[in-house]
Amino acid sequence: MTVTTSSDANGNVSAATARATERAAESAAAAAPQPVTFAKALNTALADALTASDDVVLFGEDIGTLGGVFRITDGLTARFGEHRCFDTPLAESGIAGMAAGMAMNGMRPVVEMQFDAFAYPALEQIFSHIAKMHNRTRGALKMPIVIRIPYAGGIGGVEHHCDSSESYYAHTPGLKVYAPATVADAYRMLREAIDSDDPVVFFEPKKLYWSKETLDLDALRQQYDDGADASRSEGRAVVARQGTDATLIAYGPSVSTAMAAAEAAAEEGRSLEVVDLRTIVPLDDQTITEAVCKTGRAVVVAETPGFASVASELVARIQERCFHSLAAPVLRVTGFDVPFPAPKLEEYFLPSVDRILDAVDDLQWEA
C-alpha cells in the first residue's frame, strides 16, 4: 500500500505552482514590449489605417504580392485584397495623377515611390496639381494623399537610389513634409499623415528600416486611436537629448548621426543638445529657437546637399530669431553639392560624427 506523505503532497503543490508561475511569466513576457523594427512599425501603421477606413487604398510599384522592395507593405494585399493594396505600372507620373483623381473623389490614397529619385517624373503632378488643388478650388477639394518615399543614403546605393530630395518638396507651398527618425514616430507619424486632409510627402530613411526599438505597438495604437495629444507630431519637434554647450538640429536619418556625435562629444567633456524636427513642413520654430537660445551655439545636420536646402533655410531662421543669443555663427554639416556618389565614396559624402564634431569645434569657443 502506498501512502502519500505530506512531503509528497507539498511537492505536487510546488510543481503545480511552478508550472503556473512559468505560464504566467511566459504570458507576461509575450505581453511585454518587444523589439520592433522601423519597417514593422510602418507596416502596422498601414494595416491599421486600412482597417480604420475603407477609403484608404495603397498602390505603387511592386507593393502588392511582393510587398515592396523594402517589404513595407508585406502581407497587406493578402490581408486586405487586391482592391486595397495593388501594383501599378512603372509610371510615377501616372501613380501621382491617379492619386490626385482618387482623392478628388473621396479616397485617401497612399502611394509608394520605390526610391527617392524615382519620384522625379511625378513632380509635375505633385507640384502643379496635388500641392495646389485645395487652394485652386478655394477649399472645395481636399487632397488627402500620402506620398511615401524611401530616401537618403547609408545603404551603399547609387544615385537615384539615395537622394535626399526633401528640399524640393519643402519649397513647394501646399505640401506637408514628414521625416520620422524613430520607430515609434514611424508608426504614429504615418497614421497622422494618412489622416491628414492635406497632401503629405512622407520621407522614410532607408538606413533605419531595420533599426529597432523596444515598444508596445498595441499601446501605441491605442494611444493614437484615443487621440492622445502626446501622440501628435505635426509641427512638434522634440529634444532628443538635453545639452548645455551647443545644439544640433537634425531630422530623419541625420538624427541618429547627431545623437552619436553628442555621445562622442560627451566623452570629451562637451554637452550637446539634439533637436529632432520630425516634420519639416510645418516647422516647429519655437522648439528650435528655445534650444538654440539656451546653448548659444548651433549646427544643422542634414544629408541633403547644402546649397539652397532645408539646412540653409534652418540656418537663416535661427540667425533671424536667435541673433542676440548666439556666441558663434550657425554652421551646417550636409551632403556636398554633387550628385550622390558611388557606394565606396558614400562615407565621405554623408554627414559623419567626425564632421559634426569638427563643426562644433569651429563654434568660436575661446573667450
CA dist 87 and 239 (Å) reads 39
> Is 161 assigned a catalytic role?
yes
For the purposes of burial, counting CB atoms within 10 Å of the CB of 60, is it exposed (0-12), middle (13-18) or buried (19 or more)? buried
Q: CB-based burial of residue 321 (10 Å sphere; 0-12 exposed, 13-18 middle, 19+ buried)? A: middle
Identify which of 280, 283, 276 has the alpha carbon closest to the alpha carbon of residue 258.
276
Q: Quickly list H helices, the chain.
A: 6-31, 38-52, 76-80, 92-104, 123-125, 133-136, 166-170, 183-195, 217-225, 254-267, 285-295, 310-322, 346-349, 353-361
User: Of 83, 129, 134, 161, which is the active-site residue?
Assistant: 161
Bridge-based pairing state of the strands 331-335 and 56-60:
unpaired
d(CA 323, CA 314): 13
Task: Report whether 151 contacts 180 (CB < 8 A).
Answer: no
Judging by DSSP bridges, how do beta strands 200-205 and 146-151 pair with one another?
Answer: parallel
Give, for 37, the enclosing helix (H) or strand (E): strand 34-37
Instruction: Quickly list DSSP for 272-339.
Output: EEEEE-SEEES--HHHHHHHHHHHS-EEEEEEEESTTSHHHHHHHHHHHHHGGG-SS--EEEEE-SSS
Q: Active-site residues: which are they?
A: 161
